[in-house]
Structure formats: structure tokens, C-alpha cells
Homo-oligomer: A and B are copies of this chain.
Amino acid sequence: MPAYKAPLRDIRFLLNEVFDYPKHYAGLSNGKDADPDTVNAILEECAKFCEQVLSPLNRSGDEEGCHFDNGTVTTPKGFKEAYAEYVAGGWQGLSHPTEYGGQGMPMSLGVIKTEMLGSANWSFNMYPGLSLGAMNTIMQYGDAAQKALYMPPLTEGRWTGTMCLTEPQCGTDLGQIKTRAEPQADGTYRITGTKIFISAGEHDLAENIIHIVLARLPDAPPGTKGISLFIVPKIKVNADGSLGERNSVVCSAIEHKMGIRASATAVLNFENATGYMIAEPNKGLEAMFTFMNSARIGTAIQGVCHAELSYQGALAYAKERRSMRALSGKKEPDKVADAIIHHADVRRMLLTQKAIAEGGRAMIYFAAQYADHMVNGILEGDQKKYKYWDDKLGFLTPILKGFLTEMGLEAANLGIQIYGGHGYIKEHGMEQIARDARISTLYEGTTGIQALDLLGRKVLLMTRGKAVREFTAQIAKFAVEHMRNAKLRRFAADLARYAAEWNVLTMRVMLAARKDRDSVSAASHHFLMYSGYVTMAYFWALQAAVASQKLAQGGEEKPEFYKAKIATARFYFDHLLPRAKGHATSMVKPSKSVMKLPVEAFSFDY
């Protein structure tokens, strides 16, 4: 397994040179303390913890996996100590309010923290990551007593939390949920049902686990309009915050998974477990979805994490492994053969990984500023502000989650490919990255769900194309501004063309949808991927523009960083962006290409 090295130079480039985070933070109501020195100190401390504590546990955690014994789950060797260190460092509360014991930093810093944790050890990151979801839900919808009781230990990390949505018969289609909640005379509820795929649902890292559970009241209307939300602690909590007796929620098994094997995925059986309602009756789904956009960024970043780690591993190997000679002649004549980095096709793979990791990081850090504003809206109780920024974020979220996780999987697979047969062997750890990455396109809404959310909901239903018009206007503006710069002209010309085409395609899909609703689903995947390629192109051109300006100014100690940015942008435009052409062609094909075949004719056994 490659030892993770936090790419601090690239992180600082985005924060300080591309997106002007210092100014952004200065303008946030909770950004005062996020001055450059503090941010720098946080980045460096976090990098140290991830490199020195989490990274060494990544492969051993996969090898050992989690242990299940009669309801008890034991995490792999070293995880408990690492988590204790994480809690001691105050990392869990980094971006949560000081009134609960947090550090009160903007949410974007939490995203960067997640990136480092997750690149070093995604399985580990699952435990505190899920807890964030529970914290956000309680912070937003809990009553004063619930907040007082649960937020401090969760913010400290002494307790963790989960999100219990999925049941055996349904994941995406939450309207099928069967778990029941029966009201009791004392105002509590008896929760009964089975939840599956509950990440961090049971483990030995924390004293208590606070489950956020979707369930139905006895008189609830059917479907999604009859779902309520409950707090169900693993161990009941006394009024003074001390731990009481065990609640009747039992982990009956953990899943055997392809990857993220050090992350415990629990089957939880609730049998008349005591629960406390949170948010209004039958409005559980709405509450659950408040932080959905920001939560999905936390999964989108997984694409960046695995691309980065796999790149780090593959780059080291490509410089060291010798095979054949470069087609243009010997590069290292005194050696038995040239290092494989001298072969163009190996470079194509390395540059693809680099383009995905750094291009994806730029996309996330841009969106994270929207998330900061959105969270500010919530913290300030300003619903309009929340809504405005959540909508802007909402357009980008499915692109980030859907596109970046697919690309992260590709990057991780290229990491194996660069190692050749050695990539298939466990000892190098490259195959683990691909297995760990494989979950990212499945959970938190599959790629198909992201595609439908983007095209059907965010673009067509909610904005009738306006979301695309606004975002492409930003791209077109950039293109116009750089069209006369000899170094950036090519990027600008391509961007102008794609920005225009994106609008045309949106229009065409919209028109087709009026007559044929299936065409939305048939086009959605291609629309998502097209949007992703064009969006990433914009952020690569943006990085190239900044790098080009810095090089023109001169005086940089390490100009190769900027040169690499420009070269990678060029690679992206020549070798990855053209894939958008295929998606553009396919998305406007009639839906009967996929819908005409009768179900019975899908067969392999005629």
C-alpha cells in the first residue's frame, strides 16, 4: 500500500491562488477564526495525523477486516488507538459550533479534513464520517434538550452516530420503508424493524452510538409522505448525559464486502427499541435531506481520495520499474531498460490519474464555498440564504458525486494497470484502492440516481435549464476573458464551444422529455458524464490560467508545479474532454434504443 503523503502544495494552490479562500473566509459569519495561519496549522496537523497514524493502518485494516461475535464488533488492530488520537486532537468538531465543543470552523475545512482522512484510510474515515450526518441532523432538527444531550459527546467524538435508512427491500425507494414507530405514553416511541448496510452501525471505537432512524408512525400515510425520523441510542442516555441501560437494538451481522473491509457495515435489528422523535411527524425524509447536498460532497471526495492515493502509488512504481525502451530512443542508456514512465501510454495513465485527482479537488473546493454559505444560512437561521446556496450547490452535487466517483474508480483501476500483473497482487495495495473505490458509485445514491437527480430534478423540473444556463455563463465568461491569451486560447475556444453545446443539448433533452418521459432516464447517464467532463475542463482551464499568470510573474522557487498544471490541463483537453463527444451524441438518441425491447426478450436462455 502506498504511504499517503498529503498534497499540501496543491491544496494551498487551490485555497490561496485559485479560489481566494482567505477572502472567502473573511466574509463568512463563522470564518473569522479561519485566518491563513490557522488554516495552515490545521492543514499541517491533519496531514501529519493522516500520514503517520491512519495511512499505516490502511492495508492491515483491509487484511484483518472487522470481527463480529454475537452482536459485538471489533475493529482491526490499531483502529481504536487511532480513533482515540483523532478524538484527542479535536478533529470531529472541526467544523461544528463552539457551543457544542467544536472548533467552529467553516464546513469547507471539514471537507479538506475528510479528503486527507479518506485518502489515507477510507475505511477509518467512515466512522467519523457517518457521525457527521447524525450531528448535522440533530443540530438542525433536534429540540433544545436533544441538542444539549447529544451534540457535545458527538462533537467531541466520544460517541458516534449513524444514518439508518436502508432496509432489505429498499435502498433508493425509501417509500417502501417498513420499520414501525409506536408512540408511548411517556412521549417516546417503540421502534421495530430491520435496517441493513448501516455503516459504523456497531463497533468498539466509542462509548455510545446514536442512530438516526427512518420509521413509520402507526397512522402514517403510505409512501415517502409517511416517514418520520427518530433518535435511537445504542445505550440509553440519562438526563444528566450519563449512560443508562442498553437499548434493544442489536447488531445481528456485519456484511462481507468487496472493499472498505475495516469499515463495519451492520445489520441492525430494532425490537421495541426506545426512540425519540426528531423533526415533525411524517416529515422525516425532508429533514434527512437537508444536509443531503453537503453530505454527498463528503462522498464525492472519495473519487479524489482514491485517485490521489492510486496516483501516488503508481507514480513511484512508474519511475522505478524498468521495461523496454521508449519508442523515441533510450532514455536511460546505462540502465537495463527505461523506467516505464518514459512510455507514452504509461504517461497517459498517470496523467489521467493526476487530472482526475487534481481536477476533482478543484471542483470540490469550489463547491465547498457554496456549502460554507449554505451552512451559514442554517446557523444564522436565514432560510432564504440557506435555500439560495443549497440550490446552487444542488446543481453541482450530483455532478460531483456521480462523475467524480466514476472517475475515481477509473483512476484506481489505472493504478493497478500501471503495475501490470503486480497490481493484481495484494501486497502492493493497489488492488485494495480499486476495491475500496468500488463502493463510491453505489452508496449515497448510485450514479444512476445522481444522473436522474441532475437531469430530471435539478435541471428540468426545478430550473427548466436555468441551472445550466447560469453555470455555462460563468464558463463562457472565462472563455471570453482568455480567448486572446496565446497560452490559454485553446482552452478558451474549447470551453466556449462546450458551454454553448451544453445549453443546446439541455434544450433538446427538455423538448424530447415533453413527449417522452422515458427519454429523461435514457439520457440521464450521458448528461451526467457530459456535464462532469465539461465542468472538470473549466476547472482545469482555471488552474492553467492561474499557473500561467504565476509563471509570467516569475520568481517562483519551484516553477515545475505550475508547468505541470498547464501540461495536465492540456492533457485533459486532448485526452479526456473528447469523451464528452460520445455522450453528447448518445444523450439525444431516442429512448426507444433502450426501451423498445420487451422485458421478456431480455434473455440469455431462449
Contact = CB atoms under 8 A, between A and B. Distances in A.
Interface of A: 5, 7, 9-10, 166, 169-173, 175-176, 197, 255-259, 308, 311-312, 315, 318-319, 322-324, 326-329, 336-337, 339, 341-351, 354, 357, 409, 413, 416-417, 420-421, 423-427, 431, 434-435, 438-439, 441-443, 446-448, 451-452, 456, 516-522, 524-526, 558, 560-561, 563-564, 567-568, 570-571, 574-575, 578-583, 585-586, 589, 591, 593-606
Contact of A421 (B5, B346, B443, B452): B443
Contact of A328 (B439, B443, B517, B604): B517
Nearest to A513: B327
Query: Which 3 A/B pairs are nearest by Cβ-Cβ distance?
Result: A344-B521, A578-B585, A258-B431
21 contacts: A5-B605, A9-B605, A173-B322, A175-B337, A311-B604, A326-B518, A328-B595, A339-B599, A342-B599, A344-B519, A345-B522, A345-B524, A409-B413, A417-B441, A417-B442, A417-B446, A420-B442, A561-B606, A568-B597, A580-B582, A581-B581
B327 A520 contact: yes
Contacts of A571: 593-594
Contacts of A585: 578, 581
Contacts of A342: 599
Contact of A337 (B176, B259, B570): B176
B606 A560 contact: yes
Nearest to A445: B420
Contact of A578 (B441, B581, B601): B581
Contacts of A7: 604-605
Contacts of A524: 344-345
Contacts of A434: 258, 438
A591 B258 CA distance: 38
Contacts of A589: 574-575
A10 B571 CA distance: 42
Given A345-B448, A526-B575, 10 more contacts: A171-B323, A171-B420, A255-B426, A344-B519, A345-B451, A345-B452, A347-B594, A423-B442, A558-B606, A563-B601
Given A347-B594, A606-B560, A517 B586 contact: no
Contacts of A344: 518-522, 524, 591, 594-595
B172 A324 contact: yes
B10 A604 contact: yes
Contact of A426 (B175, B256, B594, B601): B256
Given A172-B420, A341-B599, A438-B416, A586 B574 contact: yes
A447 B560 contact: no
Contacts of A322: 169, 173, 176
